[in-house]
Structure 1
Amino acid sequence: MSRTDSAAAAAETASGTEVVLAVRGLGAGYGRKRVVHDVSLALGEREVLLMLGHNGAGKTTLLRAIFGLGKPMGGSVSYHGRDITGRKAAENVTDGLAYVPQGHGVFRTLSVADNLELGGFVEPRSALLAERRERVFELFPILAERRSQTAGTLSGGQQQMLAIGMALMHEPRVILLDEPSIGLAPNLVERVMQAVVTINRTMGVAILMVEQNVQLSLPIAQRALVLKTGAVVYDGPPDPLRDHVELMKLF
C-alpha cells in the first residue's frame, strides 16, 4: 500500500471495526531533524496493529509523538474521533492510552507491588486497584510470586512483564507497545507474545506494537505496517509479509 493509500485508510480498518486511534500525515523528530514523514495509520477497536521496520526507521519516534512525549511536526492524532495532537502524556494516560517503552520501563528500586500501585496512580479507588493487581498476577504469575522483590533484581523478561502490568493498572483502551521482546530469551518472548494476545482478546485492548521478532509477532496481528526511513511503505494484511523475500524488499 502506498503512502497515499495509507492516508486514505486512516479512517477505516481492514476488519471494519470502529477506529480508536487515527494518525493522519504525522511528522515527528528531534530538534529540527525530521525522522517521521507524513505517516497515516488507523488502529481499530480490539485490533493488534504490528509496526515493522529497520533500526532508525522512526518507529519509536512515531510512538512517542502519538503519546505526547514528542512534539509533532505537522499532521494530527485523534482518539475516538477527538483531536489529541500534542496533548500531554499525563492527559492521555487518564483518557485510556498507555505507552510501554522498550528497555523495561520500571522503577528499579521499588518492589513489584509498589510499581503496580504507581501504574494505577490515576485510579483513587483502592478496591479497583486491588482487582487490577490480581488480574496482572493472573496474567503473569511470576510477578505474584515476587511481589515483594525489588524490580531491579528481576530478570529482563520479568521486568518487561512488570512494565506491561503497570500499563494495565489504569485499564487502558489502547496500548502503544515498543519492542516488548527486545533482549529476551526465546521462551520469554513467546510468553510475552501470549500475554499480548490475552490482553487484546480477553481484555479487549487495542494494541499498536513495534516488534523486531517477525516470526512470533506476525501471527498475532490483524494488520501490519512497515516503516522505512520514516515513511509508510506497506499497510495491510500480515500474510504477505510472512514471505521473507517479500518482506526484505520493503526494508
Structure 2
Amino acid sequence: MHGWFQKILKSGKTKSTQHDRSKDGEDPVVSISSVSALSSSTSPSVRTDRFKPQQSNVALSSELRWRRKYDVFVCHSSALTDIEEATRLVLFLEEAPRSLRCFLWQRDTCPGGAVFTEFCQAVRESHIQALLITPSFVQDDWCNYMMHQALSEGPMSNRMIPVLQNLPHAQYPQELKFYYYIDLSKYPDQGFSMVNKTVHRLLENLVQNEMKLSCISAGLSCGLAGGGGTQEGKVVSEHDS
C-alpha cells in the first residue's frame, strides 16, 4: 500500500513537472511569434525607408547639377560681421554629408581678376543664390547690384533664398517681397539647416523638372516619328493606286 502511494505521488510530480516545462517552453514561442507579427507589420516600411534611395542623394549625383559650377552663390556685404556669418554658412553647407558647392567671393575670386566679371559669371554658374541680407547689405550699392543681377538671371524662378540677419522689417528690399525668407535672428540654431534643406529641395525640383521635360520631348519625338511614318505610307499607297 505504501509503495502504491509512492507511485501515485511520483506520477503526479512527473506530470506537474512536464506541465511546467511545457509552459516554460511555450512562453518563448509565444513571445517570438508576437515579435515576428509585430515586426512583419512594421519592419517592411522600415526596410523600405532604409534601402530606398533618398531624393537628395539623387539630386546631388544628377548630371543636371554638374552642368553648373556652383550649387549656391552666397552674396553678402563687406562688413566684418557679414563676412564671418557668410563664412560660417558656407562651411556648414560644404561639410559632409551636405557637400554643397558654394561660391564665397573673398575666397573664390582670383587675385588681380575683374571682380565684376567674376561675380556675374559666378551668378550664371550657380543653381541658387543665397542673399545674406543685413543692414550693411541694404546700404551697400554693390550688394544691391548683385541682387538685381540675380533677379535678372531668373526672376520668380525659386532660385533665390533671402537670408535675414538682424534686419528690421521696414528695411526688407521691396524687390524680394514675393520671396519667402529665412530669418537667422528668429532661428539661430535651425537657420543654417533650413538653408540646406531649401537648397536640396530646389535641386530636387530641378532634376524632376528636367525629367518631365525629357519625357515630354521623348513623347513628342515618338509622336512625330509615328505620324511621319503614317503620312509617308499614305502617300505611297496613293501613288501606287
The TM-score with structure 2 as length reference comes to: 0.26
| Structure possessing the higher relative contact order (Cα contacts under 8 Å, 6 or more residues apart) | 1
**TM-score (normalizing by structure 1):** 0.26
